[in-house]
């Protein structure tokens, strides 16, 4: 039995202003609003344009500003900043440090965490471990991606899916029963060929050749990723439900990673959770990778009640996947 729980006490979010619609994409590649809506469930996605700013840190600063507008906290009290992202501003310095410096979180240890679309869950698990160990009391978990910079807008297999956005959560020590109850995090790196961005790292540093070969863009074998996503998210959720002796009726909300509406429906159908308990905003935001789960919590914040039982689940490149069972920590209107 843990002495403390780690609980989310505040949430912030931001999506850029520009809406890239299916109609606009249809003029760029051979696709249609009908195909994208039916096969993926996306109508529009938000894209950060240079006029609004540059880099994922720009999205994070706005998300933190949004959090501060609802829940004032002293930035000097934050002891760790974890930034889950696959699209940091630079390979180094890490984006967590840049954001911390600009928001006054100057007493915190800062690092980025890369677990693709599972990044928010991985970061939450690390924050949870930091807090229940007794070492830290306040951790800022940021999860954001600017996938538009690694999306190939000549490839119809990937360009309708990906988008930009950022969410952040303040995770604090709590002595009551609410907070993170259990987590499962998994990875299998044996088949990176199914989903990757091979350029820009130490194997394929940027070169004329890497650019010509489109190695700096996301590439995926959609059908294979789809199957792994469904089976692994179902498995992780099932394990959490069983080992916490939970009936599906006791779950108030399921928050799945927003990769494809058909993936979300398959997972929740297997788990036998009705649609009205499932947070879905993929239609408006697309797949924002690490940001998708916190952006759902952000959109639904006003409907959440203290003590609500929530199941989060994600799957992404790596492959990485996992699930978190938590009890919500606050009433927004309290």
Q: How far is the CB of 266 from ligand UT7 (least distance, A)?
A: 11
Closer residue to ligand UT7 in complex, CB, 45/138: 45
Contact, 88 vs 56, CB < 8 A?
yes
Q: How far is the CB of 99 from ligand UT7 (least distance, A)?
A: 23
**What's the CA angle centered on 86, arms 121 and 167, to 5 degrees?**
50
Q: Which helix (H) or strand (E) holds 182?
A: strand 179-187
Q: Which residues are catalytic?
A: 117, 257, 287
Q: How far from the centroid of its chain's Cα atoms is residue 31's Cα? A: 27
As separate numbers, helices (DSSP H) first and strands (DSSP E) second, the chain gives 10, 13
Closer residue to ligand UT7 in complex, CB, 18/35: 35
CB atoms within 10 A of CB 175: 9
Closer residue to ligand UT7 in complex, CB, 256/329: 256
Rounded to whole angstroms, the Cα distance separating 145 from 291 reads 7
Residues that bind ligand UT7 (CB under 6 A): 31, 35, 39-40, 117, 156-157, 160, 195, 220, 222-223, 225-226, 229, 259-260, 263, 287, 315-316
Closer residue to ligand UT7 in complex, CB, 214/248: 214
Which residue is it, tokens 């789960």? 293
Q: How far is the CB of 227 from ligand UT7 (least distance, A)?
A: 9
Measuring CA to CA, how many Å separate 70 from each of 11, 67, 180, 325? 9, 5, 22, 25
Q: How far is the CB of 67 from ligand UT7 (least distance, A)?
A: 25
């Amino acid at each position: 039995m843990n002495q403390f729980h780690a609980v989310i006490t505040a949430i912030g979010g931001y999506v850029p202003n520009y809406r890239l619609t299916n109609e606009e994409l249809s003029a760029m590649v051979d696709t249609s609003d009908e195909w994208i809506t039916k096969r993926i469930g996306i109508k529009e996605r938000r894209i950060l344009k240079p006029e609004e700013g540059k880099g994922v840190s720009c999205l994070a600063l706005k998300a933190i500003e949004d959090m501060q507008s609802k829940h004032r906290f002293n930035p000097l009290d934050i002891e760790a900043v974890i930034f889950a992202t696959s699209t940091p501003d630079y390979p180094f310095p890490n984006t967590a440090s840049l954001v911390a410096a600009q928001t006054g979180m100057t007493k915190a240890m800062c690092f980025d965490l890369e677990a693709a679309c599972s990044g928010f869950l991985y970061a939450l698990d690390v924050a949870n471990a930091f807090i229940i160990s007794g070492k830290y009391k306040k951790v800022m978990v940021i999860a954001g991606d600017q996938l538009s910079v690694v999306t190939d807008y000549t490839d119809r297999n990937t360009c309708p899916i990906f988008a930009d956005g950022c969410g952040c959560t303040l995770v604090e020590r709590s002595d009551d029963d609410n907070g993170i109850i259990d987590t499962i995090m998994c990875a299998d790196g044996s088949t990176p060929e199914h989903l990757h961005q091979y350029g820009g790292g130490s194997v394929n540093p940027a070169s004329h050749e890497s650019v010509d070969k489109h190695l700096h863009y996301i590439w995926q074998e959609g059908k294979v990723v789809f199957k792994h996503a469904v089976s692994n998210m179902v498995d992780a959720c099932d394990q959490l439900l069983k080992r916490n002796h939970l009936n599906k009726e006791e779950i108030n909300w399921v928050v799945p990673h927003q990769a494809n509406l058909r993936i979300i429906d398959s997972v929740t159908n297997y788990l036998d959770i009705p649609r009205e308990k499932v947070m879905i905003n993929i239609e408006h935001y697309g797949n924002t990778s690490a940001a998708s789960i916190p952006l759902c919590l952000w959109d639904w914040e006003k409907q959440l009640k203290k003590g609500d039982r929530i199941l989060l689940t994600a799957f992404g490149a790596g492959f990485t996947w996992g699930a978190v069972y938590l009890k919500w920590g606050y009433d927004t209107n309290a």
